[in-house]
Structure 1
Amino acid sequence: MRLERKMEAKESGKLSEAYPMKSGDGPYSYAKTSVSQKVVIDFTKQLMNKEVGEKLDIGFSSSSPPEVFSIADLGCSVGPNTFSAVENIIEAVELKFETLGLTSIKPEFQVFFNDHTSNDFNMLFKSLPPNRRYYAAGVPGSFYGRIFPEASLHFVHSSFAVHWLSQVPEEVMDKSSPAWNKGRVYFSNSRDEVIKAYKDQHQNDMEAFFKARAEEVVCGGLMILIILGIADGIHPSESGGHRGFDLIGSCLMDMVEKGTVSEEKFDSFNIPTYLMSPHEFEEAVKRNGSFTAERIQVLPHVKVNGASLTAQQVTNCVRSTLGELIKQHFGEEIVDELFDLYLKKVEEVHPSSIAEADKTLSFLAVLKRN
């Protein structure tokens, strides 16, 4: 895997960095550690059925729906969650056809799995469900730019992906900037200038995201997103998810003091994520103007098998998402020691303060193309 800057959004000329999840099927792989994300995806299935049944409007009234129904999952990673999401979408669309009495003209389904070029598409394709009811294709590229032909998609899905920024804000890396984020790896407890740099980067990214999707989604098509975010009106430092990132910084600082990591390396590392609030998301939709927000709903904290995540599970989950990023910046030799420290710190603060904090949340957004 390589962490790389690529010109992946040709039409916008936008550089986008790649942040791959941990591939393979080992204990720290995204496929093994993303169980809580799957629980949320499964929880939203009934909501999706309702929204597709009521809001999807792509020629049903004229009894001439598309013969091929195109679905894109943005930020698909390596599975298995993307396959669950796609199956839920297909079931919802088929139910819509049945409800309208169009069972004799059900479409064929084309599914496009999208992620950065550095994503492990080989593993994704090897683990495709053998009895799938759709044609599968991989589409590499950043979703912050155009990746599909104009008006070619009927349904866009993405879960737990749009909180990744296209890049670390340049100002926080600039020693001459008031937003230089020295001594920290995230913005939650930083100066106002750092917070503003992250906010501005996020706003620019969402503008690019909606501009691209507006060109790719057909009128009456749907976009359903599951977004990792924070509650409206709170300071970033109050978010449990942000505290989890701050713990990474605390562990790295310990390693700087020990001499394992250089201070210069530490000061040049920043985590490129931004957890937006539902209000921030709604404002981004309004600024674009091409979609109607049919539903924005905060989701409850859903436990895996009815139990809270353990400190080890929280640590494995963070390692699967940030491990490759850390390895590329600091070298593979520090990763085990770093996450051993992280586990101890999570145990000290209690894992639920990170995984289930009231001010860290997931929300469902249902958007219809105008």
Structure 2
Amino acid sequence: MPAVRKVLVVGAGTAGTATAICLAAGGVEVDLIDALPDVGALGSGITLQGNALRVLRELGVWERLRLLGYGFDSIGFRAPTPQAPLVAEVNDSRTGGPDLPAAFGTYRPVLARLLVDRAAEAGARVRFGTTFTAIDQDGDGAEVTLTDGSTGRYDLVVGADGIRSAVRRAIGIELTTRDIGIEIWRVVAPRPASVTRTEIINGGPAYIAGYCPTGPDSLYAYLAEPPRHRGDLTPAETVDVVRELAGSYGGPWERIRESVGDPSRINFARFQTHILDAPWHRGRAVVIGDAAHVAPPTLAQGAAMSLEDASVLGDLLLEHETVDDQLWEAFTTRRLERVRTVVGASVQMCQWLLDGIRGDVPGLHNRVAAAVSHRA
């Protein structure tokens, strides 16, 4: 019998929906709630590494997703000159196994919708526009009050509610999130036929100018730069900023720049990071995904780490008969060092950019690939 019979998952993002799928498919009663009024995801692209695809296949999502994105097995590097010639190409590691692409680009809202639909299909009760106001724990579970005034008793509460997790605060975990000192603009654009993989330019006015195909006719492009302290920008001004940055780069960037015009297809964010030391639980509540760890996107492993958290937590809750110290020790053993490796390497990549140092990027990539190539 599973260690839990009824679970509340707070947050219907990647970590939360994956947890709901794992547990509901295993016969656990799952309530999945999210404060947003509907399926929410930033309207930009996402790169999923092979280890993320491995979990998505286990969740029953990959076969649907693979038709709605673009897979590839290498990375190209171009020079920061007007012609942007290709200076290197590297075969990427197939961290999910030989039968999955090394990497896969798709549109974030597409992935979000597939995961929510699969959670409902597995039997989870999904409620948007709902969150909690109180979590009152005892030795056997938690009584949770929701914003609609209803209450429910759960064997476990899973906080998968993001970088500013309300569950984390409610259960008394303090965690400081640090700004890295890099800002990123992401834009959805048509895909030139020449773009068949991620390609990156290091240098110029941005630390990184890159793009990733997300489908037969689409890509997302990104420009990571130092903080400019521009203040609040109007939608038209955001278009001007992205077009100006993109105008410094050649090759496919010329076509990408021409297509930038709709501010609703532009997303701005700051690189941030934190990592929670063990334990990630307090009593009968646990935090996972971005609520526990955030890696800047330099290695494109954020979604993979969230998916792995959910998979490991689901496995343990279904395999063990009780929620006890042995279960949490097994969770820590399988997650903490792996996450530390990925977050540390992602932050190191940022630090090299900030310091203007040409670090051992291939060596770092290889170390991370070796760490995540086996199932979590």
Q: Same fold (TM over 0.5)?
A: no
More helix by share: 1
More strand by share: 2
- Per the normalisation by structure 2, the TM-score is 0.29
